[in-house]
């Protein structure tokens, strides 16, 4: 094999060039793949987050309006609210399951994972009722007496981990394949006496 005057490599040089190209590819390909996955993942995350924000807002409105019906004197059933928003939300969730959190709200996304497993979002409803006004007439006025005529607040949260394309070991959580989510909507509601 002979080298040419003008080419970078032929013959033995060409083999070396091929080897070099292979090594370069081995370096660049994972980096490129990581960038590609990060870009797709960011897009997916944005789509999922947008859908989640819209769903939580809808759930808060629903919970507030359902709770303020004259026929209802308690917080609306979380399963009913979840079922209502799930049809719209599930279209945007990629490989993530949506469940209703049984009572109150979980403290952190990890609580959802420990109960339902990975890639699960839990919808929960938490209601804060005002303190009863009668407490103000006991002689020692509690500091919260100014709030006794307030309407209850309803907080709807979507907590858990959504699926992502980040390979295991490289994710935020260490396990990879999922991104923590905690989206909240709070609103006041009316409550009729039972």
Partner 1 sequence: MSRRRRGCDAQAVLETALVIPLMLLLVANFIALMLQVTVQQQLDSATALAAESRFQAPQEAFDPAGVVCCPDPRCCAAPSDGTSLVTAGIPTGCRYAAETFYGTMHGYAGILEWQDAPLCLTGGDSVRVSVRFGGAVPYADSPQRSHVACVVGSNSTTGTSYAGYLDRTLNPPAGLYVVTCDATARLDFSKTPLAWGVFWSPTLHAHAEALPPPFRQ
* Residues at the interface with partner 1 (CB under 8 A): 8-9, 13, 16-17, 20, 24, 27-28, 31-32, 35, 38-39, 42-43, 45-46, 49-50, 53-54, 56-57, 60-61, 64, 68, 128, 131, 143-144, 146-147, 149-151, 153, 155, 182-190
Nearer to partner 1, 50 or 69 (CB): 50
Helix (H, G, I), strand (E, B) or coil at 15: helix
Nearer to partner 1, 24 or 88 (CB): 24
Q: Give me the least distance between CB of 137 and partner 1, in Å please.
A: 16
Q: Give me the least distance between CB of 91 and partner 1, in Å please.
A: 17
Contact criterion met (CB below 8 Å) for 159 and 109: yes
* Cα distance from N-terminal residue to C-terminal residue, the chain: 96
Nearer to partner 1, 48 or 86 (CB): 48
Nearer to partner 1, 24 or 83 (CB): 24
Q: Given strand 97-100, what is the order of strands in its sheet? A: 97-100, 120-128, 153-163, 178-188
> b/e map of 85-115 (b: 16 or more CB within 10 Å)?
bbeebeebbeebbbbbbeeebbeebeebbee
């Amino acid at each position: 094999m002979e080298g040419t005057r003008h080419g970078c490599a032929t013959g033995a040089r060409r083999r070396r060039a091929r080897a070099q190209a292979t090594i370069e590819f081995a370096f660049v390909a994972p980096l490129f793949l990581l960038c590609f996955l990060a870009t797709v993942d960011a897009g997916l995350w944005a789509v999922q987050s947008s859908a989640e924000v819209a769903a939580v807002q809808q759930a808060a409105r629903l919970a507030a309006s359902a709770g303020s019906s004259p026929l209802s004197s308690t917080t609306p059933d979380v399963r009913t609210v979840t079922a209502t928003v799930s049809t719209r939300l599930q279209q945007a969730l990629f490989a993530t399951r949506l469940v209703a959190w049984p009572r109150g709200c979980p403290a952190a996304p990890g609580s959802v994972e420990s109960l339902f497993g990975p890639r699960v979002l839990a919808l929960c409803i938490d209601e804060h009722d005002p303190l009863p006004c009668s407490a103000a007439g006991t002689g020692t006025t509690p500091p919260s007496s100014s709030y006794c005529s307030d309407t209850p607040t309803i907080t709807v949260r979507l907590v858990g981990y959504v699926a992502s394309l980040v390979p295991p070991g490289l994710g935020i959580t260490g396990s990879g394949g999922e991104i923590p989510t905690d989206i909240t909507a709070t609103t006041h509601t009316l409550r009729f006496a039972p």
